[in-house]
Amino acid sequence: EVGKALNLAVILAVATGGRKMEVWGLNTRQIDWKREAVTFDKTKRDVRRTVSIPEDAMKLLKAHGRVLGDQPVFPSTSRGQAGGSFDFRAQFKKALAIAQIEDFSWHGLRHTSASFMVMSRVETQTLMKIFGWRFPKMVDRYTHLYIEHKAEVQQRMAGKFLKI
| Residues 42-51: tens digit of each pLDDT | 777 777 889 9
Residue 136 pLDDT grade (very low, low, confident, very high; cuts 50, 70, 90): confident
Residue 97 has a pLDDT of: 94
Helix (H) or strand (E) segment spanning residue 92: helix 89-98
Mean pLDDT check: name the lowest of 53-67, 96-110, 114-128, 142-156: 142-156
Residue 54 has a pLDDT of: 92
Which residues have a Cβ under 8 Å from the Cβ of 70 and sit 6 or more positions away?
27, 28, 29
The candidate with the shortest Cα–Cα distance to 26, out of 94, 92, 75, 65, is 75
The candidate with the shortest Cα–Cα distance to 85, out of 114, 50, 42, 34, is 42
